[in-house]
Amino acid sequence: MKKIFLALIAVFLLAAPVARAQNATGLPAINSQAPFLAAALSEFFSDTRALTAGVELTLPATEGGESLKLPFGVAMADGKMRWELNLANVKSAELPPESIVGIKDMGLDRMFFLYLPGKPLTLALPGMKSYVEMAMPKTEGVQQQAAEKIGRLEKKEIGRENIAGQPTVKYAVKVPGDNGTATVWQATNLQNLPIKIAITKDRQTYRLQLSNIKLGQPDAAYFAVPAGFAKQADLGTVIQAAAMKSLGGITGGLK
């Protein structure tokens, strides 16, 4: 189970810079940081809890810019995961509200990813009532490095705090010999679920916080493509059809 979640964490971390349209100079940094970040984030996803929650991921600012707050929904159960994103909720100077108008007109502002064990990763776009199946990106290098770091993680209680109304135990997490550090807050009223984590690596800080947490099995519909969604050959087909739709209501490219 941990290997599944570790792979998904690695995929999400390596894909995150795309969400903020970083230039190429921003990519090597997160690529080098991904193993430690994935290891620290495994505090969230390394068990078999079933839950739904809101999550806010804060990515550090690019040089001269502002940090990016990426809110998304997550559902987890029995090795299945769903991540849901609405670009209108993204908080970043690099993605001002006016820029969302065109994306929304194209039907590309909302999306969700589905992972079911043994099946391809699925990206669904409700605005286009379409979905595509994608091979999981190869993240073996990140996974291997992260797994090695997980085996050496040291965790020490450093206090107790209330986070969003939840009593938590606060822990410092580190890997001997690594310059990365993390702080994890585990909610004592939620089966010690980590509800907040702050990770600092190479003088950059990443934050993740859960909200609206509901423990227990999510509705099965969370892990299924809705009825009426058409499977497309690839994402390029969907984007091309969305562009044509925004220009003149033409959707003939989808089937």
205 located within any domain:
no
Q: Which residues contact 146 (CB under 8 A, 6 or more apart)?
A: 6, 9, 10, 34, 35, 36, 38, 39, 42
- Per-residue pLDDT tens, the chain, 255 aa: give them: 445 445 555 555 544 544 444 333 344 445 556 666 666 666 666 557 899 999 998 877 766 566 778 888 999 998 888 989 888 787 766 666 776 777 777 777 888 989 888 888 898 989 889 898 987 666 666 667 777 777 777 889 999 999 989 999 999 988 887 788 889 999 999 989 989 989 887 888 888 899 999 999 999 999 999 999 999 888 888 888 877 777 765 444 565
97 located within any domain:
yes
Distance between CA atoms of 61 and 55, rounded to whole angstroms? 19
86 located within any domain:
yes
173 located within any domain:
no
Q: Is 37 helix (H, G, I), strand (E, B) or coil?
A: helix
Query: How much is the pTM?
Result: 0.76
145 located within any domain:
yes
74 located within any domain:
yes
Q: Is 73 helix (H, G, I), strand (E, B) or coil?
A: strand
Q: Which domain holds residue 31?
A: 2-152+211-247
Q: How many domains does the chain have?
A: 1
> Rg for the chain (alpha carbons), in Å?
19
